[in-house]
Amino acid sequence: MLKKGLSFVFIMLFAFALTACGKQNADGKTTIEFMHSSVEQERLAVINELVAKFEKENPDIKIKQIPVEEDSYNTKIITLASAGKLPTVLEVGQDYAKVMDKEVLIDKKTVKKIITQIGEKNFYEGALKLMSTEDGKSYTGVPISGWVQGIWYNKEMLAAKGFAEPKNWDDIVTIAKAFTDKANKKYGIAMPTVEGGFSEQAFSQFALSNNANVLDNKGKLNMNTPEMKEALTYYKKLSQYTMPGSNDTTEVKDAFMNGTAPMAIYSTYILPSVFEEGNAKNIGFAIPAEKKKAVFGTVSALTISSFLDKDKKEAAAKFVAFMSQPENMTKWVLMSPGGAQPVSKLVTENQNYQANEVVKAFGELSTEIAASFNDIQVFGLVDSKNFLKMGDVTSSGAIPKMVNSVTVGKKDVNREIKNAEKTLEEVLNKK
């Protein structure tokens, strides 16, 4: 993360570096850089096609792509920004967009103008919430795709024991207990317990469905509450029926796919594997609620860097608006059908999207999953206020450590909440 104390000097240097650049190439074209994480050959082919189409429609603009591996993506942004060479257009997730916004690296005015032109009503509400600024007046990027997380279940396995879709916390525990046979290495639910981001994401759904958030509506730490204790106690109880040890994405996915567990907490990126096995009709998606529904999700968005000269800013706005057209956004989503989900209703309704073999295989479930973006709830998003400091909370690792301690470590819920609270107070008080 960029150091806050260096922000003012950094911004001045960054602004000078960008405005000092020439407006056009020798051939009269304006060149803008587009940094994204699609390095795979199949995905690059789709993006190359989109870029070629844009350049044909806008002969005075040249797009220079900068594909970067996902694992080193955020580090690359810091490196380029520190050198005053931040690309014009960047693909960003909602969490790192907060970091960029904090460092004044996003042209929020232009981003909002594009979203207004597209029409806010055309996006799923939750997708826009995730990209909203802390004051709720603008956005940090234009949503282009996303994924959601919930509880996936094997319909046939549940039906064999007389169970239907789990609707609430009690249903999940009842089903999980019925299927658990540890002596034969069978478990009721595959769920994350690792000291990592996956556990924070999964636990957040239960906490938020019980009206427990890490921050209150003023952005103050709000960890040690009855609602949070209830959620963590429940997550600990549920972990009795999952595989032993610190389960991460591989363990959870494998257990569900090989029939070790009839339920799993996972993202939509489990769907391509289900499709490949030819079992698309046998999977269900549940969002069990306690006090309300809470879906965890992420958004991939296109953003525009700040301090651009007029020509580059206009070119960037044209390119992002072009990529946000329904047909082009559909092609982007279908680079990973099933895993990547539409964040726009115009994509869900698009004929090419509906005709895709993966989307068709899951039938009405595909529409149900996309619509679940309207139930998005994440830590740090309170009453439409998307607090920037949540980035510091997540970076601290306090929440997944708490979850791992009570599940794998079998430690006391009250004590671990207090430990997490203490860590987060120290982190937030330093900012």
Same domain, 202 and 177: yes
Same domain, 323 and 214: no
In eight-state DSSP terms, residue 1 is -
Same domain, 163 and 233: yes
Q: How many beta carbons lie within 10 A of that of residue 78, not counting itself?
A: 16
Same domain, 120 and 184: no
Q: C-alpha distances in angstroms, 381 versus 85, 89, 98, 208, 400?
A: 31, 25, 12, 10, 18
Same domain, 219 and 324: no
- Beta strand 89-93 with 30-36: parallel, antiparallel or unpaired? parallel
Tell me, what's the pLDDT at 25? 65
- Residue where a domain terminates, one of 312, 327, 362: 362
Task: Look up tokens 């591996």; give the residue.
Answer: 69
For residue 295, give the nearest of 96, 175, 95, 129 by alpha carbon. Answer: 129
pTM of the model: 0.90
Answer whether residue 368 is part of any domain: no
Pair 171, 300: CB distance under 8 Å = no
| All residues at 6 or more sequence positions from 232 whose CB lies less than 8 Å from its CB, including other chains | 203, 207, 402, 403, 406, 413, 416, 417
Same domain, 112 and 16: yes
Tell me, what's the pLDDT at 1? 32
**CB-neighbour burial class of residue 279 (10 A; exposed 0-12, middle 13-18, buried 19+):** middle
Q: Positive or negative, the Cα torsion across 171, 147, 155, 277?
A: negative
d(CA 55, CA 46): 14
Answer whether residue 371 is part of any domain: no
Fill in the amino acid letter for 287: I
Answer whether residue 250 is part of any domain: yes
| All residues at 6 or more sequence positions from 381 whose CB lies less than 8 Å from its CB, including other chains | 129, 130, 387, 390
For residue 125, give the nearest of 393, 377, 338, 398 by alpha carbon. Answer: 377
User: With helix as H, strand as E and coil as C, how does 357-383 read?
Assistant: HHHHHCCHHHHHHHHHHHHECCCCEEC
d(CA 85, CA 101): 17
Answer whether residue 367 is part of any domain: no
Answer whether residue 157 is part of any domain: yes
Same domain, 235 and 318: no
Same domain, 169 and 261: yes
**CB-neighbour burial class of residue 154 (10 A; exposed 0-12, middle 13-18, buried 19+):** buried
CATH at residue 203: 3.40.190.10
Report the Cα–Cα distance between both ends of the chain, in Å, rounded: 12
Per-residue pLDDT of the chain (431 residues; tens, 9 = 90+): 333 333 543 444 444 444 434 345 656 789 999 999 999 999 999 999 999 999 999 999 999 999 999 989 989 998 998 888 999 999 999 988 988 998 899 999 999 999 999 999 999 999 999 999 999 999 999 999 999 999 999 999 999 999 999 999 999 999 999 999 999 999 999 999 999 999 999 999 999 999 999 999 999 999 999 999 999 999 999 999 999 999 999 999 999 999 999 999 999 999 999 999 999 999 999 998 899 999 999 999 999 999 999 999 999 999 999 999 999 999 999 999 999 999 999 999 999 999 999 999 999 999 999 999 988 999 999 988 899 999 889 989 999 999 999 999 999 999 999 999 999 999 998 85
Answer whether residue 345 is part of any domain: yes
Answer whether residue 240 is part of any domain: yes
Pair 337, 276: CB distance under 8 Å = no
Task: Give the total number of structural domains in the chain.
Answer: 2
Q: C-alpha distances in angstroms, 78 versus 84, 88, 344, 427?
A: 10, 14, 30, 21
For residue 263, give the nearest of 179, 340, 200 by alpha carbon. Answer: 179
- Beta strand 89-93 with 296-304: parallel, antiparallel or unpaired? antiparallel
Answer whether residue 404 is part of any domain: yes
Same domain, 8 and 135: yes
Same domain, 13 and 60: yes
Same domain, 28 and 121: yes
Domain that holds residue 73: 4-144+300-362
- Residue where a domain terminates, one of 312, 337, 362: 362
Same domain, 187 and 325: no
Hey, which residues does 89 pair with through a beta bridge?
34, 304
Q: How many beta carbons lie within 10 A of that of residue 219, not counting itself?
A: 16
